[in-house]
Structure 1
């Protein structure tokens, strides 16, 4: 009995001793659970902060950790509780990587633009008509100068251009106002869509100072020939400069080079609205078929061309703000012109020319001049045959540019031209003898619209070897051009 009582007493004593320990263990477990809950809450706050940082455009700033949860009343004193976890600080979020640049679709790389010219010509004096064999008042530059006059669409150009890549660009231009002859006897058909340009530029260096142009494009002969008809001040090109390359274009390959300093001057002039000759480089050398625009190659040889032109600032000689430009062009060719009996000549004729040009851009007064020397196919009346004969001529033009008037930009101009030589663009390469004086004004009320008024005193023979003599007279001409 005594032993049982002693065992019972010991058991009771051990229970009383264990109760505080069990209570302390329970309290310690509750503290651990509370601390784990606090850390879970902090992790949730961190996740939310990271999501906010990714959504914001800028880098997220550090976020303080959530405050620790208060210990329950039954928790042990701080001295006996586990050490509180250190506040978690969110590091600056890494900025979101920029998505790869989307490759442009083909229609985003191309630009469509153009211009249309509505023109009216009136012969106010001189022979509108003449008997067979006598020259009438006509021009190789505009077939609208005739006995009927009235309105005509001189040009209706549509251009598609753009960059295929960083090193290759394309340019295509067509004319909706081209005519096709011999559709019904001698009656022409008007307003066909004809290819004018179709070429690619391949840039040979990253700065794009050197490029190779392949396809049908303008032949770099004559500053005036290279200048776009939509950018030229007078209505037409001059006979002398246009005669070596009527139509201005051919199929071939040409290398252009433009030093950065030269391009900088041209960019400055272009920015202020000067009428430049286009992006044809300061130096060029090329080879072409040599038969002319949209004509089948006949001679089997190649036409070679070279050009150099250089702008200069004239501040050093007291002409502050003025820019001059001087240059030359040259071509060597053999051509077989069309003949009256049909087809083209069985003989190829020497067609070699050199021209020089010089100008001072209108700031506000300007002057421009070109002259050409050479030989080319020409009808010889004495032998009734085509021969390669001397061709020479040129022009001088003065202008005054007023870019800011109450009614828009106004450019009055005056030009004199002269030419003696063949016109290989017509049947049998007839000889031209041209003397012409003209005055006019170009008015730009807005950049999309240009109006030109022109008076000309003309002495020239008709481009037809069957007609002789020179016609004299006066012309009044006007043109409205809209750009798009």
Structure 2
């Protein structure tokens, strides 16, 4: 009996020891409650704001372009005294090869509402000196609205008069501007302030007419008003009376065709340079009005302009105010990369920019074609039949014929 009690006591003790050992082992192996839980998600990193694009400096917004024209007018010349000093100095005796224009244009938006346009020419002829650098354009367009429909142009620029005068020589098919319109404004430019207005969609149309190769005149507004010195570009002003100018034009879209109709005029007082044996008033009234019609070549085009007015003209040995008139008509076609054309010019009146403002009588017929084999090169050939007044005393009429050639490089 006693042995049974000892055995039971030993069994109970063994169970107690085993249970205690198991508890200790369990306490050592089991992880803490915090370890059994799923780890918490890390907090998202703070959002990084998109970096603002760096605003371009003004000098990163401008671009450089230009063109060069090289001519030869000595083939088939029938009269060496037939000259056109304002248009092309290589016409006539000892003309040779001529760089007619060598232009570089720096242009761009230097501000949301300020556009600059700077253009020198490195091929101006001054007396007997060729390739003289001169200033052609140096102006800023200051827009007064976000859409740039209203803007002021300040500086030396083209005076808004006529269609052909406004058209760049880079885009014009005939070699030179007509005497009829170009006699109004030597180099087409002067120092002044001009206001332009055109709806945004019409400004885009003006741009398209140039970019598409349709011989547009550029964007000089639907309405143009301005005041300018009046003695022409790069010349000292000689009186206190500015010239005033106004022009209105609109390119109508008629089906697939575009027709542009415009007109305008200018008025002021001009001071004539005279020789010692010629007298002239201190100032002579100088005013003109013009009308223009253009059917763009798609594929057949037609262009006509005419102007009338009064201005200084030499009569005997005295400069007086006299009437003037003249214009041109041109038919032109677009046939692939070719632009064949024929243009007739008429002008009767004074040439105020020349010494003594001699009377000019001009008749000219030019038949030619322009070919653009690649965008960077244009080749033009034309046959001219002309009668023009020689620009020095005794101011005789000269007539003749010649073949004209030109290579134009665009860059």
TM-score (norm. length: structure 2): 0.90
Match of 1:152 in 2: 98
Local SS of the residue matching 2:60: helix
Q: 2:338 aligns with which of 410, 421, 441?
A: 410
Equivalent pair of 1:423/1:463 in contact (CA under 8 Å): no
Are residue 107 (structure 1) and residue 40 (structure 2) matched? no
Tell me the distance in 1 between the aligned counterparts of 2:278 and 2:119: 27
Match of 2:282 in 1: 347
Are residue 172 (structure 1) and residue 124 (structure 2) matched? no
Q: How does 1:53-72 map to 2 (within 5 A)?
A: none
Equivalent pair of 1:123/1:147 in contact (CA under 8 Å): no
Bigger Cα Rg: 1
Q: 1:95 to 1:337 in 2, by over 3 A?
A: farther
Q: How does 1:309-348 map to 2 (within 5 A)?
A: 309-315=249-255, 321-341=256-276, 347-348=282-283
> How far did residue 180 of structure 1 move?
2.8
Local SS of the residue matching 1:240: helix
Q: 1:87 to 1:269 in 2, by over 3 A?
A: farther
Are residue 293 (structure 1) and residue 239 (structure 2) matched? no
Q: Deviations over 1:55-82 (max 9, x none)?
A: xxxxxxxxxxxxxxxxxxxxxxxxxx55
Are residue 284 (structure 1) and residue 224 (structure 2) matched? yes
Tell me the distance in 1 between the aligned counterparts of 2:80 and 2:26: 126
Match of 1:398 in 2: 331
Are residue 482 (structure 1) and residue 409 (structure 2) matched? yes
Tell me the distance in 2 between the aligned counterparts of 1:342 and 1:292: 24
Match of 1:162 in 2: 108
Match of 1:379 in 2: 314
User: Greater strand percent: which structure?
Assistant: 2
In structure 1, the gaps of 5 or more residues are 1-11, 33-80, 130-135, 182-187, 316-320, 404-408
Tell me the distance in 2 between the aligned counterparts of 1:223 and 1:432: 22
Equivalent pair of 1:312/1:324 in contact (CA under 8 Å): yes
Equivalent pair of 2:206/2:218 in contact (CA under 8 Å): no
Are residue 119 (structure 1) and residue 71 (structure 2) matched? yes
Aligned residues: 397
Match of 1:142 in 2: 88
> How far did residue 86 of structure 1 move?
3.8
> How far did residue 304 of structure 1 move?
0.7
Match of 2:351 in 1: 423
Q: Deviations over 1:291-314 (max 9, x none)?
A: 111001111111111111101122
Q: 1:224 aligns with which of 164, 174, 177?
A: 164
Equivalent pair of 2:278/2:318 in contact (CA under 8 Å): no
> How far did residue 177 of structure 1 move?
0.9
Deviates more, 1:435-444 or 1:266-275: 266-275
Q: Deviations over 1:115-151 (max 9, x none)?
A: 111001126354314xxxxxx5445311111211221
> How far did residue 391 of structure 1 move?
1.1
Equivalent pair of 2:279/2:319 in contact (CA under 8 Å): no
Equivalent pair of 1:420/1:432 in contact (CA under 8 Å): yes
Equivalent pair of 1:455/1:475 in contact (CA under 8 Å): yes
Equivalent pair of 2:278/2:356 in contact (CA under 8 Å): no
Match of 1:206 in 2: 146
Equivalent pair of 1:176/1:192 in contact (CA under 8 Å): yes
Equivalent pair of 1:437/1:456 in contact (CA under 8 Å): yes
Equivalent pair of 2:207/2:218 in contact (CA under 8 Å): no
Deviates more, 1:290-299 or 1:468-477: 468-477
> How far did residue 88 of structure 1 move?
4.7
Local SS of the residue matching 2:186: coil
Local SS of the residue matching 1:290: coil
Q: Deviations over 1:145-202 (max 9, x none)?
A: 1211221111111111111111111111001111333xxxxxx221111111100111
> How far did residue 468 of structure 1 move?
3.3
Q: Deviations over 1:218-250 (max 9, x none)?
A: 000011001111110100000011111111111
Equivalent pair of 2:203/2:219 in contact (CA under 8 Å): no
Match of 2:3 in 1: none
Tell me the distance in 1 between the aligned counterparts of 2:40 and 2:304: 81
Equivalent pair of 1:198/1:217 in contact (CA under 8 Å): yes
Local SS of the residue matching 1:164: strand
Equivalent pair of 1:337/1:344 in contact (CA under 8 Å): no
